[in-house]
Amino acid sequence: MRRKLAAGNWKMNGLGADLAELERLAAAPAPSQTGRLICPPATLISRATLVAGDIAIGGQDCHAAQSGAHTGDISAEMLADCGASAVILGHSERREDHGETDATVAAKVAAAWSEGLLAVVCIGESLAQRDAGETLALIGSQLAGSLPDTATGANTVIAYEPIWAIGTGRIPTLEQINEVHEFIRTTLTDRFGGEGHAFRILYGGSVKPENASEIFSVANVDGALVGGASLKADDFQAIIDALDAA
Residue 63 falls in the annotated catalytic set: no
Domain boundaries, the chain: 4-245
Return the DSSP state at 55: S
Domain covering 4-245 assigned CATH 3.90.1150.10 in the classification: no
Out of 21, 93, 161, 181, pick the active-site residue.
161
Examine the residue annotation and report whether 125 is marked as an active-site residue of this protein.
no
Please identify which of the residues 21, 63, 91, 181 carries the catalytic annotation.
Answer: 91
pTM: 0.97
pLDDT score recorded for residue 169: 81
Render the burial of 36-71: b for 16+ CB within 10 Å, e for the rest. bbbbbbbebbebbbebbeebbbbbbbbbbeeeeeee
pLDDT at 14: 97
Task: List, run by run, the mean pLDDT of 10-residue segments along the chain (246 residues).
Answer: 96 98 97 97 98 98 98 98 98 96 98 98 96 97 98 98 88 95 98 98 95 97 97 98 97
